[in-house]
Amino acid sequence: MSLKQMMPDLFKTIAFRLTLWYAGIFSVSSCVAFALFYFLATQTIQEQTDRDLLEKARYFSTVIQRNGLMGASKLAVIEAQAAGEKRIFFRLLYPSGEVFASSHMSYWKDISVDHGAIDILSHTKGHVFKTWLMKPHEQKARVLYSFVASNVILQTGIAMDFQTKFISAFKTVFIVSMGFIIVFSTVSGLFLARKALSGVKAITRTASSISGTNLEKRVPETGNQDELDLLAVTFNRMLDRIEDLIKSIREMSDNIAHDLKSPLTRIRGFAEIALVNMDDLETYRGMAANTIEESDRLLDMINTMLVISRAEAGGGEFIFKPVNLSAMVKEMCDLFVPVAEDKEIKFTCEVADHIQMEVDAKMLQRAFSNLLDNALKYTQDKGRVHVDLCWESDGFVDIRVTDTGPGIDSAYLEKIFDRFYRVESSRTTPGTGLGLSLARTIAREHKGDLVVASQLGRGAVFSMRLPYRNIPII
Ligand code: ADP
């Protein structure tokens, strides 16, 4: 991949954007901290300077009281010399602004008398501070105007060299620190983003290595219960479900292939026999009848599959009409009496009277006949089959078919409702593996359910529960 192709991808990555955010937030907050520190430091230095100047003004005031104006004039020169003539100056003025004494002013000649400040001072009688930029020296000075006697104003100024030094040192520290902070935050941001997203990469890697034939790979789960771990767990669960689904689709297609193969082989066999015995009309007719019978069975199977799929997809064509369920169940039982008699099975039917419900009668008959057919088919000769139609206390009607047949291993209790699923031991008995699946779909279309209770060797109870509520009683 060329660099040009890679660049837009890099900008789009979450890691890049996180790094940018991290570095940005880190740098901006550092700038704010620096600004705050700068503001507080300069403020403190200025306050200290102002306090020093006020102290000087108080001293001059005391000297004037004790030694008069002459004393103050001498003090101005001595104080400036003692502190350094480039550091401090003193001027004594009349309220008119006329200077009558000062320290040595050659360094400070840029600073004149500010009449505006004197006006303010005359009105407030307090003191006025001004900050002055001395252009020739490129240095700031803090200047105080204050009355030191009733008609004497002291103008005194201090070079703000400490503040100037502080600002230049601050600038250096700021530039170096910000450079370091930007580099540090970018590197650590990149590191953190990569670390945080490494779980996502693992999921992406696993997802891209999965194919139709290789579904057993899973994303490593850390067990930290953080967002990425939950994502990994959810992803793995999704893979489990997909794997189960694909497995059951494979099983189902195997079953379909198997179940379609047998009748088709038989049909082919009939056709072959008919072809060999072309002259024998009787055999010819017999084979044609067998072919029709097998074809009908196949068609029935395909139709059943269609009913189940349509109902499961929500497009079932069920027609609900008020039906006397009690009468319907009785009639169905009567239909199966000859089958029971053939196997000498004790077949009993106990039906609660006058249960009137809105159902799809044809579909419900199909479901019920599948249950009865199974019970009589799987129960051995001389066994017992009992049918119950009764009210349940929770607003349901229960159609129960109990038999004394071979029962069902608990491992297959749910599987038997899958399409085409037949327990291995039943494979010798004729059937398609669609009966229970259809019966359950029909029960569910009626907002009810079909469940089974059974133990191997102890018979089975199939219970189709249908809700009675919201169905008008006639
Ligand atoms: P089929 O009966 O055509 O095989 P079903 O869907 O009706 O298909 O039943 C699925 C499987 O459930 C059967 O193959 C059988 O193993 C088991 N089964 C159903 N009803 C009974 C029953 N009453 N007693 C024991 N096993 C049963």
Is 45 domain-assigned? yes
The ligand 1 atom at the shortest distance from the C-alpha of residue 432 is 3
Question: What is the whole-number distance in angstroms between the Cα of residue 421 and the centre of ligand 1?
Answer: 8
CA of 332 to the centre of ligand 1 (A): 19
453 Cβ closer than 6 Å to some ligand 1 atom: no
C-beta 436 within 6 A of ligand 1: yes
- Is there a single domain that holds both residue 273 and residue 327? no
With a cut of 80, say whether residue 471 has pLDDT above it.
no
> Are 161 and 27 in the same domain?
yes
Check pLDDT > 60 for residue 473. Answer: no
In a domain, 472, yes or no: no
Query: Contact, 460 vs 469, CB < 8 A?
Result: no
pLDDT exceeds 90 at position 207? no
Regarding whether 337 and 236 lie in a shared domain, the answer is no
Mean pLDDT, residues 426-454 taken together: 89
- CATH number for the domain that contains residue 133: 3.30.450.20
Question: Is the C-beta atom of 406 inside 6 A of ligand 1?
Answer: yes
The pLDDT value recorded for residue 50 is 92
At residue 213, the pLDDT reads 67
* Number of domains forming the structure of the chain: 3
CB of 413 sitting under 6 A from ligand 1? no
Centre of ligand 1 from the C-alpha of residue 407, in Å: 10
pLDDT tens digits along 253-288:
887 787 788 888 989 998 888 888 777 788 888 888
Q: How confident is the model at residue 139 (pLDDT cuts 50, 70, 90)?
A: confident
Do 122 and 54 reside in the same domain of the chain? yes
Query: Domain of 108?
Result: 14-167
48-52, 134-138, 211-215: which is most confident: 48-52
Q: In this predicted model, what pLDDT tens digit does every residue of 381-403 receive, in sequence order?
A: 999 999 999 988 888 999 999 99
Domain boundary among 258, 283, 312: 312
Report, as an integer, the average pLDDT of 355-365. Answer: 91
Question: Model's pTM, two decimal places?
Answer: 0.56
CA of 373 to the centre of ligand 1 (A): 9
Find out whether the beta carbon of 408 lies less than 6 Å from any atom of ligand 1.
Answer: yes
* Residue 152 maps to a domain: yes
Residue having the nearest C-alpha atom to atom 8 of ligand 1: 433
Q: Which of 167, 183, 202 is the last residue of a domain?
A: 167
Q: Which residue lies with its CA nearest to atom 12 of ligand 1? A: 416
What percentage of residues in the chain have a pLDDT greater than 70? 96
* CA nearest ligand 1 atom 16, residue: 423
Pocket of ligand 1 contains residue 375 by CB under 6 Å = yes
The closest residue, in CA terms, to atom 7 on ligand 1 is 435
CB of 401 shorter than 6 A to ligand 1:
no
Per-residue pLDDT at 212: 62
Tell me how far the alpha carbon of residue 212 lies from the centroid of ligand 1, in angstroms: 32
Rounded to the nearest angstrom, the distance between the alpha carbon of 110 and the centre of ligand 1 is 113
Pair 117, 240 in one domain: no
Does any domain span residue 377? yes
Asked whether residue 193 is assigned to any structural domain, the reply reads no
**pLDDT of res. 474:** 43
Q: How far is the CA of 118 from the centre of ligand 1 (A)?
A: 113
pLDDT at 203: 80
Q: How far is the CA of 180 from the centre of ligand 1 (A)?
A: 76
Query: What is the residue-averaged pLDDT of the chain?
Result: 87
Supply the CATH number for residue 259's domain. Answer: 1.10.287.130
Cα(426) to centroid(ligand 1), Å? 7
Same domain? For 419 and 377 the reply is: yes
Within a domain: 364: yes
- Pick the more confident residue, 255 or 99: 99
Substitution candidate for ligand 1 out of 301, 378, 427 with most atoms within 8 A of CB: 378
**Same domain, residue pair 263 and 332:** no
Tell me what the mean pLDDT of segment 212-217 comes to: 74
Tens of pLDDT, residues 128-138: 999 988 887 77
Domain-embedded: residue 116: yes
pLDDT band at 315 (very low <50, low <70, confident <90, very high): low
- For residue 368, give the CATH number of its domain: 3.30.565.10
Distances 317 to 304, 308, 310, 359 between C-alpha atoms, Å = 13, 11, 8, 12
Q: pLDDT band for 3, please (50, 70, 90 cuts).
A: very low
Whole-angstrom distance, CA of residue 148 vs CA of residue 330: 124
Ligand 1 touching residue 433 (CB < 6 A) = yes
For ligand 1, whether the C-beta of 374 sits within 6 Å is: yes
Across the range 193-202, mean pLDDT stands at 82
Is 190 a domain residue? no
Q: For ligand 1, atom 21, name the residue with the nearest CA.
A: 374
**β pairing state of 139-149 and 152-159:** antiparallel
Kindly indicate the confidence band of residue 6, based on its pLDDT and cuts at 50, 70 and 90. Answer: very low
* Ligand 1 centroid – CA 411 distance (Å): 14
